[in-house]
Amino acid sequence: MSSRVVAYGLMLLLAAGHVLVAQAQNQTFITGLLANLNGLGLTNLTNVMTQVQADANQIAFFLSLSDSSTPKTFFAPNNAAFQSPEVNFNGYPYQSDDTNFLGALLLYHLLPGTFLLADLGSGPNHTIVTTSLQGHSESFLENDESQVIACGSSVAGFEIYNQLTTTAVLSTTTFGHVTIHTLNAIIGMPGTYTFGENLLDISSFDSVRSSAGVQPIENSHGITIFAPEDGAFTNAKSQLSSTSPQAVFNNHVINGQTIWYSTFRSKTYTSASGHNYSFALTSDLGYTVTLNGVTANIIRSDFLLNNGVIHVLDAVLSNTTAEPTSAPAPPSASASNGGSKSDLSGGAIAGIVIGVVALLGGLLLAFLFWRRQHGEQHQTGYFDSPHPYPVHSSGVPFTTIPGDGMSEPANTPGVSAPLMYHASSDIESNDQPVHTQPYEMGEKGPPVNHQPDSGTTDFQSLMMTGRRSTDTYSPQSQQGRAGSSAPISDEVVDHLLQRFAQRIDRGPAGDPEAPPMYPA
């Protein structure tokens, strides 16, 4: 039974190992994909991929890319894109020597699922697509949510939005389960709120935030901002003269959640002031947002941040006197984008998981091996000898003296003692020596003709002592035999344990007159 358990454990461990190896990096697939990309002239991209692959902590990209259980879409910048890699980077540099940064960049270019031009919304609509960049130190969304890309169908074709330059698909091909879109530029990952503020003409809104004493927006993990453009604050100046900057700011923020344009009407959302937003679709397929009776048009939506999203309004949601309708969402966990978030990338986490699984598998194997060894020491077999073995009440080993038919202690000069074994059992209090020779029924001591002599090759005698029929039995003292390392067969040990248990059932330990018990 124990050997079967160990075998099953080994099979399970090997199967888990095969799964981990297959998913950790399907090297055959990766090698083929790299060759395919090189054939497309995307050698700068493959150099970056090879650089990242060499870092054992950055396996997340290759885990996802080689997982054929779901299709993938990979945006592949062409060689010219790497001549000006920072063209779409909003306030941060291209870090060519940082594999953590490069690994995040590759993950941001990899989408779960297949996305073609026909699948995208066209202006003014667009499509929000989830990327493989999740739980990485370059992203600060709530609950380690996956970062997204905004894209759509435009005059440029399949276009990536929120970029500083027009970024579009030049050609499309496939390799295995991966759809490859060649791009004219590297897609910039979402930047910080500060750079979004400068691009979107919303500095007046940030002045309100600063006057309210609110912590920097960069410190939030998950935030949705309805930011009025600067002109809206000019138009609402008279209305805002007697209002609290804190109240105005709270009317325009949802804490702890990143709400995309496409999900506005999927549920009710509550501002930091405790008032519920309502959204309506306009005739030109845009949206309006209303709070406390004040309505504004959303003139730009889904400007992505590394920790949230900004939607730009043409008016200020200025009514701050109404009673709250709901409990406001609590502020998200504060953590600076500068590095208070864990530095472990998805690849490092995956590596840790694999290591832990391997460790647990090793511990399981060690436990099963120990259990097998331990079980063999206590396992009871079914090798039955014709008669049970008596135990002398004094616990002193017996030997045979020719002619007297009785037994006496094995210290008689010139007489060899038979080989003796102490049977071990779970009942430690009854540790008595047991003869290796069966007695005749009703006898109180071993008969003379059962004494093994020097050089005997009798099969039963030798088997009962664990010796082969070709071995030689040499007489030695009882003390010498106690330290002997002669092998004992498993059947003998099993039999002795079984008979020792029967002796316990016969009567008080050491009672030579107790009636013997025999197997049914």
Whether residue 210 sits in one domain with residue 130: no
Going by C-alpha positions, the residue among 36, 40, 309 that lies closest to residue 177 is 36
Whether residue 417 sits in one domain with residue 300: no
CATH number, domain of 307, equals: 2.30.180.10
Give the model's pLDDT for residue 284.
82
Per-residue pLDDT tens over the stretch 181-197: 999 999 999 999 998 99
Stretch 145-152: mean pLDDT: 97
Going by C-alpha positions, the residue among 435, 431, 459, 456 that lies closest to residue 445 is 435
155 found inside a domain: yes
Q: Identify which of 7-21, 144-158, 392-406, 497-511 has the greatest average pLDDT.
A: 144-158
Stretch 64-80: mean pLDDT: 97
Whether residue 289 sits in one domain with residue 236: yes
Whether residue 206 sits in one domain with residue 160: no
Per-residue pLDDT tens over the stretch 278-326: 999 988 878 999 999 999 999 999 999 999 999 999 999 999 877 776 6
Could you tell me the strand order of the sheet in which 72-77 lies?
Answer: 110-112, 72-77, 178-183, 167-175, 157-160, 148-154, 127-130
Give the model's pLDDT for residue 248.
96
Distance, C-alpha 139 to centroid of its chain: 20
Query: What per-residue string of b and e applies to 112-144 under the rule 16 or more CB within 10 Å gives b?
Result: beebeeeebbeeeebbbbebbbbbbbbbbbbee
Phi-psi map region of 445: left, alpha, beta (phi>0 left; psi -120 to 50 alpha):
beta
Per-residue pLDDT tens over the stretch 208-256: 999 999 989 999 999 999 999 999 999 999 889 889 999 999 999 999 9
d(CA 250, CA 224): 11
Q: Which residues pair with 150 in a beta bridge?
A: 128
379 found inside a domain: no
Give the model's pLDDT for residue 257.
96
Give the model's pLDDT for residue 309.
98
Q: Which residues pair with 343 in a beta bridge?
A: none
Q: Lowest mean pLDDT of 150-164, 171-185, 319-333, name the range.
A: 319-333
Per-residue pLDDT tens over the stretch 320-378: 877 776 656 555 544 444 444 444 444 445 556 566 666 776 777 677 666 666 665 55
Question: How much is the mean pLDDT over the chain?
Answer: 76
Stretch 263-289: mean pLDDT: 92
Instruction: Using a cut of 0.85, tell me whether the model's pTM lies above it.
Output: no
305 found inside a domain: yes
Q: Which residues pair with 289 in a beta bridge?
A: 279, 296
Q: How crowded is residue 451: how many other Cβ atoms within 10 Å of its Cβ?
A: 18
Torsion angle, alpha carbons of 331, 333, 337, 340, to 10: 150
Enclosing domain of residue 179: 2-192+344-351
Whether residue 302 sits in one domain with residue 234: yes
- Burial class from Cβ neighbours inside 10 Å (0-12, 13-18, 19+) for residue 394 reads exposed
439 found inside a domain: yes
Whether residue 142 sits in one domain with residue 123: yes
Omega into 124 within 30° of 0, i.e. cis?
yes
Total domains present in the chain: 3
Whether residue 103 sits in one domain with residue 13: yes
32 found inside a domain: yes
Whether residue 134 sits in one domain with residue 217: no
d(CA 213, CA 211): 5
275 found inside a domain: yes
Q: Which residues pair with 253 in a beta bridge?
A: 225
Whether residue 61 sits in one domain with residue 78: yes
Of the chain, the percentage scoring pLDDT greater than 90 comes to 50
Residues in CB range of 98: below 8 A, 6 or more apart: none
Band (259; pLDDT cuts 50, 70, 90): very high
Q: Which of 266, 295, 313 is the last residue of a domain?
A: 313
Helix or strand (DSSP H, E) at 31: helix 27-39
Residue for token digits 């270019």?
109
140 found inside a domain: yes
Whether residue 219 sits in one domain with residue 130: no
383 found inside a domain: no
Q: Which residues pair with 433 in a beta bridge?
A: 422
Give the model's pLDDT for residue 122.
84
Per-residue pLDDT tens over the stretch 3-42: 565 555 656 665 555 555 555 458 899 999 999 999 999 9
Please, how many CA atoms are within 13 Å of residue 371, restricted to the half-sphere of its CB?
A: 14
* DSSP track, 450-504: GSPPTT---HHHHHHTT--TTS------HHHHHT------HHHHHHHHHHHHHHH
| Beta strands per DSSP E along 314-461 | 398-400, 407-409, 420-422, 433-435
Band (498; pLDDT cuts 50, 70, 90): low
Whether residue 139 sits in one domain with residue 60: yes
* DSSP track, 213-259: TPPPGGG-SSEEEEEE-HHHHHHTHHHHTTS-HHHHHHTTEEET---
Give the model's pLDDT for residue 8.
56
Phi, psi (deg, nearest 5) at residue 226: -100, 95
Whether residue 180 sits in one domain with residue 239: no
